[in-house]
Homo-oligomer: A and B are copies of this chain.
Amino acid sequence: MKSEILAALRSADGYVSGQELCEKFGVSRTAVWKAINQLKQAGYEIEAVQNKGYHIVSSPDILSKTELESNRKTAWVGEEIYYFDSTDSTNTRAKRLAEDGSVHGTLVVADEQTGGRGRRGRAWESQKGVSIYMSLVLKPEIDPNNASMLTLITAMAVAGGIEKTTGLECKIKWPNDIVVHGKKVCGILTEMSTQMDYINYIVIGIGINVQNESFPEEIREVATSLRIESGKKQKRAAIIEAVWEEFEKYYDIYLKTEDMQGLVGEYDQKLANMNKQVRVLDPKDPYEGTARGITPKGELIVDTWEARKLVSSGEVSVRGLYGYV
């Protein structure tokens, strides 16, 4: 009920009377009073004025199930939310939940990861209280061959969600990083379990640097946070909500054709690599060229001096030739 009361206080114009809350949720005044007190203890500043009612003055940047649920406006993402103060890795959690029958749209959020992972099993730095670590469970009836494009969809959603909440301009470093002012603020790790021709489930993991005030020397040139770039603290729950609202929008367009057909133009506008020199780290034959956007199948178009090449997110990394992007 805390989530509902919080949502009611947030959406109210001025004060909400205790009586109103009692009637709305069919509970006693004592129950309302208890819930309000718990919210105060969790860090929400709630004013109570006699004969007027309750009024929310400010909410801190906290993550909790209550906070996430009270912010939720999405249609199906987050219908089930699992929140952890600390977990090994939200992707690992989400995979286990998916194996055990959790539904399409299940969302896992953690305030800290003790075993965060990036691509190819690389470690992902996961401090407590400063970043967003979250994973979404999908169980779509699509061709497994089309699933890798969901990483691109997610990148668009993260870029859009951050822009909407912080006003920062976000670009996508194909295929799975989000950059602000040329530095990385977010990585995406999409994992999939299939019966070869049939998808058991997909898990999309997102890590976003939010409140970090600085980064270790060795990554300072390439990594940044939303706080550093915007110069102020941000609210993670609001960003999370905005990301998934964007995601639902792009996902619907993707599902129509199971590819990027309806999204190429918008994607290319967000593409950090656009018209930039890139180095394609093909293990057999690395080469350089100019990135020219994506194809409807989500491949990166790279013009080399001799030919146009299409890079699928396969066994290949793409690096900026001058700097991170």
Interface, chain A (partner B; CB < 8 A): 92, 95, 99, 119-120, 143, 145, 147-148, 151, 189-198, 200, 312-316
Contact = CB atoms under 8 A, between A and B. Distances in A.
A315 B197 contact: yes
A152 to B, nearest CB: 11
Contacts of A313: 196-197
Contact of A119 (B119, B195, B315, B316): B195
B190 A195 contact: yes
Copies of this subunit: 2
Contacts of A312: 197
B196 A190 contact: yes
B119 A198 contact: yes
Given A95-B99, A191-B195, A194-B194, 17 more contacts: A92-B99, A95-B193, A119-B198, A147-B196, A190-B195, A191-B196, A191-B200, A192-B192, A192-B193, A192-B194, A192-B195, A193-B193, A196-B313, A197-B313, A197-B314, A197-B315, A198-B315
Nearest to A205: B195
A143 B314 contact: yes
A160 B234 CA distance: 62
13 contacts: A95-B193, A120-B195, A143-B314, A143-B315, A145-B145, A148-B197, A190-B196, A191-B194, A191-B195, A194-B194, A196-B313, A197-B313, A197-B315
A118 to B, nearest CB: 10
A319 B197 CA distance: 17
Contacts of A119: 195, 198
Contacts of A191: 193-196, 200
A316 B143 CA distance: 12
Q: In this complex, which of A189, A191, A194 has the most chain B Cβ atoms within 10 angstroms of its Cβ?
A: A194
A314 to B, nearest CB: 5
A244 to B, nearest CB: 20
Nearest to A150: B196
